[in-house]
Amino acid sequence: MIPKSVKIVEVGPRDGLQNESKILPVPERVRLIKNLAEAGLKQIEAGSFVRSDLLPQMSNTDQVLAELNLTMGINFPVLVPNMRGLDNALAAGAREIAVFAAASETFSQKNINCSINESLDRFSEVTKKALDHGLKVRGYISCVLGCPYSGTISPENVGYVASKLNDMGCYEISLGDTIGIGTPIATQKLLASISSDIPIERLAVHFHDTYGQALANILAALQMGVTVIDSSVAGLGGCPYARGASGNVATEDVVFMLDGMGIQHGIDLINLITIGKSICTILDRPVMSKVSLARSPTGFEL
Ligand code: MG
């Protein structure tokens, strides 16, 4: 049961850039997003409304949104951590937000300083207000296949958080393998467990390639009927838990695999490779996409 087409959610300009040490100015962030839109991406994370002293990489996301055409048929979700973030996102004209919870109690405490249930209570209020204002809300769950502090995470723990996000009105729930230790059968067991409560069409997968498992896990998810894949151009973002290791799976590599499988996605791979190389030059970091690295420096076409 392989889907005929999938939606790719490009997370590079948010999840990617927020984990890069170099801070990009607003015009560079806007250029990256517009280039990605031109390459065919229809869902592009545009930034985050978090305190800029905590995350300077994402400061001035309101100015980024002001430069984008928010009604052109492309979704530009922004991450919102609390009610104040939502108010700022609303003031900036955001049409879609994302909220985030962890499947691991320890990770929740260390990452956002509150329990899973406390975070869900907070996001329930944020989501309600966002929905009242006509916004779409996407939910993220981190540590779905393992936690950097407490190790194994059971599908039941993930299912609990997913159901809560579903109940509060998230239209899509993205399952994040934050430390990248998931493997294909574990992925399928997780999806089988969660999709007994939530339709598979509303589940997205967010794999990190830290242990080289991302594409295998994405294939395993496709076989389960998943049709939404998060990825990051050039693998932007790195891994905060293992210096120098891979983080987000590279969009180029996902697109290449989908092309080989005849699955539609609407993205121009050559254009994407160019964007990935260019942003990595600006960030002074290596491209993490294997497909991009495989291309000859003389411009040999795939
Ligand atoms: Mg990520």
The tens digit of pLDDT for each residue in 103-118 reads: 999 999 998 899 999 9
Q: For residue 43, what are the β-bridge partners? A: 9, 75
Asked if residues 292 and 249 have their Cβ atoms less than 8 Å apart, the reply is no
Q: How far apart are CA 135 and CA 141, in angstroms?
A: 20
3-state SS assignment for residue 73? coil
CA of 237 to the centre of ligand 1 (A): 7
Indicate whether 45 pLDDT > 80: yes
Q: Of the listed 143, 147, 170, 239, which one is catalytic?
A: 239
CA of 12 to the centre of ligand 1 (A): 9
Return residues with CB closer than 5 A to ligand 1 (ion): 15, 248
* pLDDT band at residue 69 under the 50/70/90 scheme: confident
pTM, rounded to two decimals: 0.96
| Tokens standing for residue 231 | 């990825």
CA of 215 to the centre of ligand 1 (A): 14
Q: How far apart are CA 223 and CA 270, in angstroms?
A: 26
Residue 283 sits at φ, ψ, to 5 deg, of -85, -10
Nearest to residue 170, comparing CAs of 199, 131, 227? 131
CA of 15 to the centre of ligand 1 (A): 6
Indicate whether 298 pLDDT > 70: no
Residues whose CB falls within 8 Å of the CB of residue 113, separated by 6 or more in sequence, listed in order: none
Asked if residues 225 and 200 have their Cβ atoms less than 8 Å apart, the reply is yes
CA of 67 to the centre of ligand 1 (A): 25
* Per-position b or e across 275-302, b if 16+ CB within 10 A of its CB: bbbbbbeebebebbbbbbeebeeeeeee
Task: Calculate the alpha carbon distances from 178 to 75, 154, 207, 243, 244 in Å.
Answer: 23, 15, 7, 14, 15
Indicate whether 288 pLDDT > 90: yes
- Residue 239 annotated to the active site: yes
